[in-house]
Amino acid sequence: MTESRRQIAYFSPLPPTRSGIADYSAELLPYLAEAARITLFVEDPAQVAENLRAAFETRPIADFARVYWQYDVALYQMGDSLCHEAMYPVLLRFPGVTVLHDHGLHHFVATRTIPRGDFASYVRELGYALGIAGVDLAYRIQRGKAEHPFYTAPLNERVLDRSLGVIVHSRYAADQIRAVRPHLPVAVVPAPISACIESLRSRQELACPEDALLFVSAGQVISNKQLTLALEAFARLRADYPQARYVVVGDELKHDLDLPAWLAQRGLGDGVTMTGYLADKRDFISWIAAADVVVNLRYPTVGETSATALRGLAAGRPVIVSDHGWYAELPDDVCVKVTPNDGEAIYQAMRRLAGDATLRQAIGRRAAAYAQREHSLAAAARRYVDFIDEIVERASGRAERMTA
């Protein structure tokens, strides 16, 4: 790390935006600010949480083209949702360091083009990524002859090619990028997480029975989180553990999975509660901390790292995860891994944890220690700045050689 403080133009969704990356940035920024001077660039500064506006200069994204020369580097927090749309044209025009929270950006690309009647731009992106085969695939999709390859065609190539360097949160994502862009600098910075277990709601405040055996899944309700498999396993478990309860915490996206209808069809309503979106992050984290077991499955993956799984680990809870993607990189003794798409494996994991409180506590202790050791905010900020220094110095050396 250099002694001088870098001037960083920081692009990210920020609270109160409903985004895990917004929460990530809010937690990381104070630590990053210890080593760099940061200006936040957002679509509308007036919409940013007051505490962030008080702590950081906050400017409209539209200003950046006039002042970009004032900064050592632009830092883009990029993910697979429309929360990142306003920064996207800036990322393409002004290369910087991109933090790729999701290796795949196909949902982002498709959502910002097809529903708006701009299928031609979707064709161009598939063509950019896959050549003429991609163009052909796009037109077959348009005619209903093929499915969107959301999980096999990441459509991140344009972002990679317009980045000076990329930060990811897993070896899985880094390996995927290095396979297609071997000369692009890539740094693996484990996703940081705050334990955030002070002043949380008690089970009584959450209206949850104190004696319940509580399973919790948290985050957006989408089909690749395999909730239906988990809930089918839970239904079997309740035959022997009638005090068990399952709480699904977070946004329900009915276009993807109509979970209330699914539960009603299977008569699971009495043991399963859906909270919907919780505006207060403290309530969201309180449910995770109140759980006996956190269930955080994901298959297929777009190369994401789950903040919910990390919050479960940090809170000292045993977390059931899919043995796939980033989750597979977690140490075997800090979580319980199950084979993707294997309902029996999920049931056996639930049953094992339900029947052994000592096991739950032992896994939870190891999980909390691991999260504190490997996923601290301070360590992540240091690694950010080290990588930014490397990228800026590399770019400066290239510029000097070009003018020599």
| pLDDT tens per residue across span 377-397 | 999 999 999 999 999 999 887
Number of continuous H segments (helices) and E segments (strands) in the chain:
16, 13
The DSSP secondary-structure symbol of 48 reads S
pLDDT, tens digit, for every residue of 132-142?
999 999 999 99
Distance CA 328, CA 332 (A): 8
38: enclosing H helix or E strand: strand 36-42
pLDDT digits (tens, 9 = 90+) for 316-367: 999 999 999 999 999 999 999 999 999 999 999 999 999 999 999 999 999 9
Q: Is 250 left (phi over 0), alpha (psi -120 to 50) or beta?
A: left
pLDDT tens digits for range 230-246: 999 999 999 999 999 99
* Contact residues for 311 (Cβ-Cβ < 8 A; gap 6+): 193, 196, 218, 285, 288
Condensed to tens digits (0 to 9), the pLDDT of residues 274-327 reads 999 998 889 999 999 999 999 999 999 999 999 999 999 999 999 999 999 999
pLDDT at 143 over 70: yes
Cα–chain center distance at 20? 6
- For residue 401, pLDDT over 70 is answered with no
Residue 201, CA atoms < 13 Å, CB-side half-sphere: 17
What is the mean pLDDT of the segment spanning 239-264?
Answer: 86
**pLDDT digits 0-9 by tens, 181-191:** 999 999 999 99
Rounded mean pLDDT of 18-44? 96
**Is residue 101 classed exposed, middle or buried when 0-12, 13-18 and 19+ CB atoms within 10 A define those classes?**
buried
Structure confidence at residue 198 as a pLDDT band (50, 70, 90): low
Q: Is the pLDDT of residue 1 over 90?
A: no
How is residue 2 written in tokens?
């250099």
Does pLDDT of 196 surpass 70?
no
DSSP string, 210-263: TT-EEEEEES-B-GGG-HHHHHHHHHHHTTT-TTEEEEEES-B-TTT--HHHHH
> First-to-last CA distance in the chain?
27
Over residues 265-273, the mean pLDDT reads 85
Cβ distance 32 to 3 under 8 Å? no
Quick one: pLDDT at residue 379? Answer: 96
**CA angle, residues 319, 322, 326, in degrees to nearest 5:** 95
Q: pLDDT category, 254, cuts 50, 70, 90?
A: low
Domains of the chain: 6-105+156-192+377-403 (3.40.50.2000), 213-374 (3.40.50.2000)
Check residue 281 and give its pLDDT: 87
Whole-model pTM above 0.85? Answer: yes
What percent of the chain stands above pLDDT 90?
87
Query: Which pLDDT belongs to residue 299?
Result: 95
Q: Is the pLDDT of residue 32 over 50?
A: yes
